[in-house]
Amino acid sequence: MSLKVAIFNHKGGVGKTSLAISLHEQLQKQKGSCIVVSNDKEGISEEVFDFYHYSEDVRDFKSDAEVQIFDFGGFTSKDVLDTIAASNVVIVPTLDDLNSLQSTIDTIAEIKPYNDNIIVIHNQSKEDTFVEKVIAENFDEEDVPVLKVRHSKIFQNSLLEGKNIEEIASSTGKNKFVYRNIIKEIKDIAEAVSYFE
């Protein structure tokens, strides 16, 4: 059985690609093979990560990988909604500013009829923010759970260096210490995702 994970939010810059790449690394380890497919022409390329593919029509992208992660640009199309409907789980990353949150509420409302397995990721989280409160006001917490990913330079460095985050986090003793929490947060999301297989 293959696991399909869609990552979607209409809002740009909320961490869809960063999560796709860091989840790839965990799920590849867990399940043996994993690829990322994106419909975003302007996104990162296979030259940076050989597991990252662009496809004009993600729905028809053929792969033997055990896990497929879909990193969608912010636009909805029939192709995107069909792929969301065929996915085991949909991850909706958000930041805590009001624009992102409004977009997140709209995005969840739009995709819920197609797939009810939704996990919100409160990305770049700091203490005392609105994400959990606003999601809780709009949805039942058992229906739309929220996980956190803290703010960390590791994502930027991952893209700049073309290295996965665990490679960066294990490269020196200091990095092991500094990045221990962010690695744990990403592992928790990978574990949450694998429940939906």
Ligand X SMILES: Nc1ncnc2c1ncn2[C@@H]1O[C@H](COP(=O)(O)OP(=O)(O)OP(=O)(O)O)[C@@H](O)[C@H]1O
> Which is nearer to ligand X, 3 or 93 (by Cβ)?
93
The binder of 151, among Mg ion, ligand X, none, by C-beta within 5 to 8 A per type, is ligand X
* Interacting residue ranges for ligand X, rule: CB under 6 A: 12-18, 40, 43, 74, 123-124, 149, 151-152, 155-156
Rounded to the nearest whole angstrom, what is the least distance from the CB of residue 180 to ligand X in the complex?
15
> Whole-angstrom Cα distance, residue 193 to residue 179?
21
> Which is nearer to ligand X, 14 or 89 (by Cβ)?
14
DSSP code per residue over the chain: --EEEEE--SSTTSSHHHHHHHHHHHHHHHHS-EEEEE--TTS--TTT-TTEEE-S-GGG-----SEEEEE--S---HHHHHHHHTSSEEEEEE-SSHHHHHHHHHHHHHHTTT---EEEEEEEE-SS-SHHHHHHHHS-TTTS-EEEEE--THHHHHHHHT--HHHHHTSSHHHHHHTHHHHHHHHHHHHHHHTT-
Rounded to the nearest whole angstrom, what is the least distance from the CB of residue 57 to ligand X in the complex?
19
Rounded to the nearest whole angstrom, what is the least distance from the CB of residue 159 to ligand X in the complex?
6
Rounded to the nearest whole angstrom, what is the least distance from the CB of residue 22 to Mg ion in the complex?
13
The binder of 18, among ligand X, Mg ion, none, by C-beta within 5 to 8 A per type, is ligand X
The binder of 155, among Mg ion, ligand X, none, by C-beta within 5 to 8 A per type, is ligand X
Rounded to the nearest whole angstrom, what is the least distance from the CB of residue 44 to Mg ion in the complex?
8
> Which is nearer to Mg ion, 24 or 139 (by Cβ)?
24
> Which is nearer to ligand X, 17 or 164 (by Cβ)?
17
